[in-house]
Amino acid sequence: MRDVATDYYGILGVDRGADDAALKKAYRKLARELHPDVNPDPAAQERFKQVTSAYEVLSDPEKRQIVDLGGDPLQTGPGAAGNPFAQGFGGLGDIMDAFFGGGGGGTRGPRSRVRQGADALLRIDLDLAETAFGTTREITLDTAVVCGTCHGEGAAAGTHPATCETCRGRGEVQSVQRSFLGQVMTTRTCGRCGGVGSVIEHPCGECGGDGRVRARRTLSVKIPAGVEHGMRIRLTGEGEVGPGGGPAGDLYVEVHEKPHPVFTRDGDDLHCRLSLPMTAAALGTTMKLDTLDGEEELDISPGTQPDAVLTLRARGIPHLRGTGRGDLHVHLDIQVPTRLTEEQEGLLRQLAKLRGEEQPGSSGKHQGLFGRKRR
């Protein structure tokens, strides 16, 4: 009993007379579209295995001969029946290296010990007047800075990083392996120097070879007028210095606006509430209000209604971009007296009588909801 031989030529899409160059070309083309690094689709990965297996068979003259004689070199005996592609692909990385030059398309030659530093983030609390009109703040921060002892080189005084003996400064080591393609040269990052090509034999005592140390600094940050809670101000090159004394990242200063006891902010508009006695609402008055710009006089017109809003134009937050400012909205809470003296009550009753409001809802003039319903 034998399984039907796998159609290796069909899998690779070549005809039976294909020479080595044609096989290679066909495999390369398929691998470029099916390789797991390019195509994460599981079906593509399964097909990639099949294509690789077919190439492995057909590029080996002995195995190809078995195929041409109607056999299957990957089915060796009765126990091996089934999926010929289920076996491991240990040599795959090397095949890909041979085709596409280097593991994962990495760079050639030693990489630099010096690397870009990370960005840093610092939060500052500001009150409303500061976010509104801007300010300058002194901030203290701890970041990595260039080591003052070795100036970033990482080596102890009087010494320098020495060329790595394992890779002779190349940062990578090569080895020759046998595979179905013949001898294949593989390249790996040097384990001794980590790919840098040099080794610090006597590290700087200050930074331990990193080329940077942590230090506390004080900076002056200018906060522009009109910033909002959560905004970040960027200070280029004020972040963390990189390994080997590499260029510093940026510092982001995040604005946190402290709640104000009187004003709440909505974009560039401000809102506040102001209590107003019932009598003042009826008679009209002037009131004083402390705004961000100092004391302002509010004109309350006679007959002001509950929930009235007075808007003070351009007394809000200056716009961060462009000119002009938001408004200040004053919401009036009209207070009805809860406790009356005998004299006050008498006066109010007199007023109610004069206005015909002793029995609201029952007179024709001041019918309320219930009065209308009853009729």
For residues 212 and 56, give the distance between their C-alpha atoms in angstroms, rounded to a whole number: 50
Q: Which is nearer to Zn ion, 135 or 166 (CB)?
A: 166
Q: Which of 2, 28, 178, 192 binds Zn ion (CB under 5 A)?
A: 192
CA angle (134, 136, 140) in 5-degree steps: 135
Q: Which of 12, 120, 193, 251 binds Zn ion (CB under 5 A)?
A: 193
The minimum distance between CB 188 and Zn ion, in angstroms, equals 11
For 257, phi then psi, to 5°, come to -90, 125
For residues 199 and 171, give the distance between their C-alpha atoms in angstroms, rounded to a whole number: 10
The structure tokens listed for 99 are 């085709």
Interaction of residue 67 with Zn ion, rule CB under 5 A = no
Interaction of residue 146 with Zn ion, rule CB under 5 A = no
**Window 106-135: contact mask with Zn ion (x via CB under 5 A):** ------------------------------
Q: Which of 204, 255, 280, 292 binds Zn ion (CB under 5 A)?
A: 204
The minimum distance between CB 211 and Zn ion, in angstroms, equals 6
Interaction of residue 255 with Zn ion, rule CB under 5 A = no
Q: Closest by alpha carbon to 310, among 286, 282, 277? A: 286
Q: Which is nearer to Zn ion, 164 or 227 (CB)?
A: 164
For CA atoms 147, 149, 152, 157, give the dihedral sign: negative
Q: Which stretch binds Zn ion (CB under 5 A): 56-64, 185-193, 317-325, 344-352?
A: 185-193
- Checking DSSP bridges between strand 135-146 and strand 212-223, what pairing results, if any? antiparallel
Q: Which stretch binds Zn ion (CB under 5 A): 71-79, 93-101, 207-215, 261-269?
A: 207-215
Stretch 153-182 residues interacting with Zn ion (CB under 5 A): 164, 166-167
Please report which residue ranges of 208-341 form alpha helices under DSSP H.
278-283
Q: How far is CA 107 from the centre of its chain?
A: 27
Q: What amino acid is encoded at 117 in this protein?
A: G
Task: Give residues in contact with Zn ion (CB under 5 A).
Answer: 147, 149-150, 164, 166-167, 190, 192-193, 204, 206-207
